[in-house]
Amino acid sequence: MSIIDKNTKVNITIKDFGAVSFFIASILTIYFSLRAEIAEAKKLPPSEVTLQQFDYQVATTQENLAIIKEDIKEIKEVLHKLEERIYEIK
């Protein structure tokens, strides 16, 4: 195992240096752009859900639940028929 001290030499090619520099620049760009977007979002007023939007979401959810309940009933019927067929085969 080698020990790193002040006399240790590191060989870095220009290609490696460029790749590391590009990576660091990319990370910094992403960081500062996200920071600017967060600062801008903090200035915006909070979005408000109106009663009409809420009622629409509730109605849509209830319709989806009704569809899911029907699907479950159909699946149970098919399962029951399959069980009957299995018992007939035995």
The answer on pLDDT for 8 being more than 90 is no
DSSP character string of 49-86: --HHHHHHHHHHHHHHHHHHHHHHHHHHHHHHHHHHHH
DSSP character at residue 45: P
In a domain, 33, yes or no: yes
Q: What are phi and psi of 3, to 5 degrees?
A: -105, 135
How do residues 41-66 score in pLDDT, each as one tens digit?
A: 999 988 888 999 999 999 999 999 99
What's the CA gap between 72 and 27, in Å, rounded?
49
In a domain, 9, yes or no: no
In a domain, 6, yes or no: no
Tokens matching residue 72? 């479950």
Percent of the chain with pLDDT over 70: 99
Domains in the chain, number = 1
- In this prediction, residue 1 carries a pLDDT of 62
Measured distance between the N- and C-terminal CA atoms of the chain, rounded to whole angstroms: 70
In a domain, 55, yes or no: yes
pTM here is: 0.44
DSSP character at residue 13: -
Domain span at 54: 14-89
The answer on pLDDT for 37 being more than 90 is yes
In a domain, 8, yes or no: no
What is the average per-residue pLDDT within 2-17? 85
